[in-house]
């Protein structure tokens, strides 16, 4: 099953003390990496509540949508293109949580070696940068 990821606040190590927790999405793995990543992200973005049980959803107030996912099997590069609106986090920990949820959902497949992720053709990492 394709996993999606939520945050367990104050339960791990590091600056923010969070852990990223996998939750089954209900989407079966098809074997097509691009399709599976798109399905996982769509399911993740469909949750509009701040909490999934006791797990935090940093994406609850964003209105992101998957526009296109391309995967190069030979290089392991996946390119993900989003549309919609990102409620841009201001806090360092919230930025890390947004990145963790999205990147973990994309990188759960061992075939994915590198990522290019864009929102309206702007690198998503730049939009949620900790700098």
Distances (CA, A) of 118 to 74, 87, 126: 21, 15, 9
Instruction: Give residue 22's pLDDT band: very low, low, confident or very high (50, 70, 90).
Output: very high
Instruction: Give residue 10's pLDDT band: very low, low, confident or very high (50, 70, 90).
Output: confident
Rg (Cα) of the chain, in Å, rounded? 14
Using DSSP bridges, classify how beta strands 51-52 and 114-119 pair: parallel, antiparallel or unpaired: unpaired
CA atoms of 106 and 123, how far apart (whole Å): 15
The boundaries of the domain holding residue 22 are 3-127
Percent of the chain with pLDDT strictly greater than 90: 85
Q: Could you report the per-residue pLDDT of 47-81, keeping only the tens digit for each?
A: 999 999 999 999 999 999 999 999 999 999 999 99
- Coil/strand/helix, residue 26: coil
pLDDT for the residue numbered 131: 47
Residue 81 near residue 69 (C-beta atoms within 8 A) = yes
CATH number at residue 58: 3.30.300
Number of domains observed in the structure of the chain: 1
Residue 63 near residue 53 (C-beta atoms within 8 A) = no
């Amino acid at each position: 099953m394709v996993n999606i990821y939520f945050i367990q606040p104050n339960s791990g190590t590091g600056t923010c003390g969070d852990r990223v927790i996998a939750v089954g999405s209900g989407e079966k793995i098809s074997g097509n990496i691009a399709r599976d990543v798109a399905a996982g992200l769509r399911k993740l973005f469909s949750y509009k509540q701040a909490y999934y049980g006791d797990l935090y959803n940093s994406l609850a107030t964003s209105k992101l949508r998957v526009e296109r996912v391309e995967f190069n099997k030979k290089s392991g590069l996946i390119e993900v293109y989003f549309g919609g609106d990102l409620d841009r986090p201001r806090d360092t920990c919230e930025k890390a949580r947004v990145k963790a949820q999205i990147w973990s959902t994309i990188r759960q497949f061992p075939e994915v070696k590198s990522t290019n992720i864009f929102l309206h053709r702007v690198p998503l990492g730049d939009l949620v940068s900790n700098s």
